[in-house]
Amino acid sequence: MNIVLITQITPTEDNFNGPSALMYHLLLHRASDISVCIFTTNSNQVTDQEIDSIARKMNAKIEVFSTKKKSRLFAKQKVAHIFAKLKGEIEIPVRYTEKLPFGVLDKIQSIKPDLIWLYPHNCLGFIQQLDGYKMVVTGPDCASLHLSRALRDSFLFRNNAHVSLSWNELILNYERELAKKQVVIHLVGQTDVDYFRCLSGNDNAVFFPHPHYNLANKVIDLQNRSKIKVVLSGKPDIYTNTDVNEFMCLLLASTDKLLKDRFEYTFLGKMWTPYVDKLVGAGYEVKQIGWVDNYIESLAEYDVQIFPISVGSGTKGKVLDALSTGLVCIGSDYAFENIAVEDGESCCVYKRCIEILDFLKKIAECPSEYEKMADLGRKQVRLYHNPEMIISNMIKYLESGECNIDNRVYYYLSLK
Per-residue pLDDT at 68? 63
pLDDT value at residue 163: 65
Burial of 290 (0-12, 13-18, 19+ CB in 10 A): exposed
Q: Whole-number mean pLDDT of the chain? A: 88
The pLDDT of residue 387 is above 80: yes
- Distance CA(342)–CA(414), nearest Å, equals 10
Tens of pLDDT, residues 315-332: 998 999 999 999 999 999
In our burial notation (b when 16+ CB lie closer than 10 A, e otherwise), range 387-412 reads: bebbbebbbebbeeeeeebeeebeeb
Does pLDDT of 139 surpass 50? yes
185 has a pLDDT exceeding 90? yes
Q: Tens of pLDDT along 226-281?
A: 999 999 998 888 889 899 999 999 999 999 999 999 999 999 998 899 999 999 99
